[in-house]
A and B are shown apart, each in its own frame.
Chain A
Amino acid sequence: MISVGGIGRAFHSAAGELGMLTTSRLIVDEVFAAAGEPGIVELRATLGRRYAVLDAVAAARLAGSPTPAPGPEAVATALRGATSLLVVGVEADALDALLPLLGGTRLGVLAVSELEVDWARCAASYGAATEVVPAADWARWAGRRAALLTFLYGRRGAATFVVPAWLRVSGPDVRTLFRTVLGWDVLGRPPDVYPRWLAETTVRDFSTVVGDA
């Protein structure tokens, strides 16, 4: 027996600092270990409509598909030569895999989220050199060798789903201020339910999109 209500509170608390996908993977792994497929079915039925990424990861587990690999190599290739990288949104699994490939690239995390986040603690987990960037300071990270990255949670045609914080910085003028504007599709499939914690935008926001379509 699992406490789905408790899991919901845990998901909400963790998703801000670990990311929707990373938190979903952890919870789906734990529920599957504790309660098997019936537990995943119950998790999906109870929390799936509230958390679309959790629903997608649970559905993938039921279908026998593993959670998509982050695929950091293609991202690192796309970022080659960048001297700075400003990340909008957090996905711990993906960033953990990417950071060792970035060399001396300066890393900043934009401190904007719909969820409660202790940004200092969040940034510290990616190394002492990681900077927490207030929303008003995003332009200090622009430049001819600068990169801007956010995570995509699936694509459907030209539409894609991002954390709402992305809408605070994206725009036609911003695309001209960063050499690379990268969307990293970490989910690899569009959500089956309305992604109420995410926002829809288009792939035209990005100079490069990496990840499974």
Chain B
Amino acid sequence: MHIGPDPPPSPPDRDGGTSPSGRRRDRSDPTSFMRPEVVAAALEPWVPDERDREFVVRVILDEGPAHHRGSSFVLLALLAELVRRRGAHASSQGPVEPVRMHLPPHVASQVDGTYPLALPLEPLRALAPDDPSALRAMADCLVDGPAHHALANAACVALLGALLDPSAAP
């Protein structure tokens, strides 16, 4: 525990930004290039509530190992840019697979333990148009694992779905 004079303040972040939680980002953070607002804006069609969106973006970009957080940002930001350049828009709602929180089994049925972003299943039909069991297995893979991983997968598939939707073609 440090008791004494305050340490010198951290230098300002190069983009003056904050994390989704409003915390100042440290320049020494290897993921200081992340811009949460880019991911938040890209996910708005799927997660319209601002607080819900902050939650999803926080889990993707603030939780988990730095290389996961940074990689998720890069991939989602590139997809968001592609969606923007293509003028694509959110796919129709369609069927989804919930992304579940990792709660103790005896609690999971008692609380609303799903994240506000679900995995859209329609884009996966491009890979398994007539094979429900394969589609099921793909969905299971995508929503498995740590929450930051599963939500990043769901966000990537949502943006890919917007790009794959024929009605969104320019």
A interface residues (Cβ-Cβ under 8 A, vs B) = 80-81, 139-146, 156-157, 159, 172-173, 175-177, 179-180, 190-195, 200, 203-204, 206-209
Contact = CB atoms under 8 A, between A and B. Distances in A.
Contacts of B170: none
B6 A176 contact: no
Interface string B24-60: 0000000000000000000000000101101100110
Interface residues of B, number: 35
Interface in B94-116: 101-104, 107, 110-116
Contacts of A157: 6-7, 10
Main secondary structure of the interface of B (DSSP, over half): loop
Interface of B: 1-3, 6-7, 10, 20-23, 49, 51-52, 54-55, 58-59, 62-64, 101-104, 107, 110-116, 146-148
A140 B107 contact: yes
Given A176-B101, A208-B21, A156 B2 contact: yes
A207 to B, nearest CB: 4
A44 to B, nearest CB: 16
B6 A156 contact: yes
B112 A191 contact: no
Contacts of A208: 21-22
Nearest to B21: A207
Nearest to A181: B21
